[in-house]
Amino acid sequence: MGFNSFTFILLFLPVLLTGWHLLNKAELFRIADVFLIGLSLYFYYSFGVSFLVILLVSIAVNYLLSAVMEKSEAFRKPLKIAGVLFNLALLFYFKYLGFFVDNINALFDAGITAKEILMPIGISFFTFGQISFIVDRANGEAPHYPFIDYALYTVYFPKLIQGPIAFHKEMIDQFRQKSLRSFDTDTFAKGIMSFIIGLGKKVILADTLAKSVNYGFHYTYYMDTLTIIAVMLAYAFQIYLDFSGYCDMASGVSLMLGFKLPVNFNSPYKAKSAKELWQRWHMTLSRFFIKYVYIPLGGSRKGKLRTVINVLIVFVLSGLWHGAGWTYICWGLMQGLLVVWDDLGIVGVKPSKEEEMSSKPRRYLLREKPFFMVPRPVGNALTFIMFVVSLVFFRSQDMTYAIQMFKRFFFWTYPGFLYRTASQLEIAENYIPRQLFSQLGFAAGENIVYMVTLLLLLAVSGFIMTRKNTQEIVEETDFSMKTVMGLAIVFIWSFISLSNVSTFIYFQY
């Protein structure tokens, strides 16, 4: 039961919102918390009962460690180590054991067998959230919360399966504010708006682009240069719309409940450099690695070489966090190298007048100022192109397919396969033009319709990337009749399209 399902929209969400607001109106706050915990657990249970058991065990162990820390401060450091190791072991077993065994067998011909293990949805998110709590708890930065508060923080379903990785304080402090429990029409309306925009991004655009993307990556060995360009652009837009769509829906549901989730996605394709891109993409994951990995490793305090090494470690771990495979490691390493290149100060991007006025002068590893500067549009374009190139690793089945993708890019042939890739867009929206061409007896009509559909999707997606993001739109909206009608159209269109819906990309992480 994802956000983009009939069950969630027609049954789960109405029951949740009705029960939550009625209980809070009656000032039954603890009962409301238990109600929200119960529905959050049911939401997670809908993906599998075994997943729920793993989540409950994880909560119990981490809370027990926190309770023991409360009894004895002398054991906080060993308990911190034990807690981090427990959470990492849980993550390793379900996410990385198969990858580890496969590589041991490949290196040493060991012949070790490991049964296929089904990875719990969202394990990377709730595990990292609990690691942050255990570390902060041991460092004296977090109290021993009442169990209901801690359980609600961990299982709060808008963030449970795909983030953001919220820190304990920023959520529990909100849960404890009674003023946020009062129904606020404006906040509720903004939540609905955010949810609808996210639903439209996911169902109308991302899932449609996925049809051609999946086909293209499945037939990597047959693709030509133009097809690869089209498929990679489609995938870059798909993953953007899929992830930002989920973030918008999660934020929307949370606003309907009265709470704000931390911003996790802030128009990354507007970035002028790789470093800025990672200040905008999966922002809560970036801050987690900065706080709990980069800074403890020494950050930028131990010399230039150590800074470079620390950056690369963080990005390799980020790649590995996204998936158990060498393709993800290569993707993370490539992103790390791009950030290091940006930090060297060889090439810089001219700041806007607003940035010059509001930002502190930036220091680079090699010099105070870059050797030469390029205009911001050039920086935007180069950053986007390099990110798209890196996605070859991110999306390919394995390294063999990734290398083949790069090879086929330089294999200039007649782009006949582009028609086949575009033909996967046989969607209800292009039924009428296809029938029109058919009635006119135009043999190549269907191919033209598919190609136009693909180009139109790419154009619309590219246009969205350059506009204001959902947070900005929601904050600035005045809920005029025009806005309400537009939202109604998007919702109806999305709702009708739900029967063809797919899972979110980040579910697997």
Quickly list DSSP for 392-431: HHHHSSSHHHHHHHHHHHT----THHHHHHHTT---GGGH
- Residues paired with residue 347 on neighbouring β-strands, in sequence order: 372
pLDDT score of 417: 82
CB 58 within 8 A of CB 67: no
282 is catalytic: no
pLDDT score of 89: 95
| Of 302, 217, 314, residue with least CA distance to 274 | 314
| Active-site hit among 21, 168, 282, 322 | 322
pLDDT score of 354: 67
Quickly list DSSP for 457-496: HHHHHHHHHTS--HHHHHHH----HHHHHHHHHHHHHHHH
Please provide the distance, in angstroms rounded to a whole number, between the alpha carbons at the two ends of the chain: 17
Q: What is the pLDDT of residues 168-192, one digit of tens each?
A: 999 999 999 999 999 999 999 999 9
pLDDT score of 504: 62
Note the residue count of the chain.
509
What is this structure's pTM?
0.90
Low-confidence ranges of the chain (pLDDT < 50): none
pLDDT score of 283: 92
pLDDT score of 445: 61
pLDDT score of 434: 66
pLDDT score of 400: 92
Q: Domain ranges in the chain?
A: 6-183
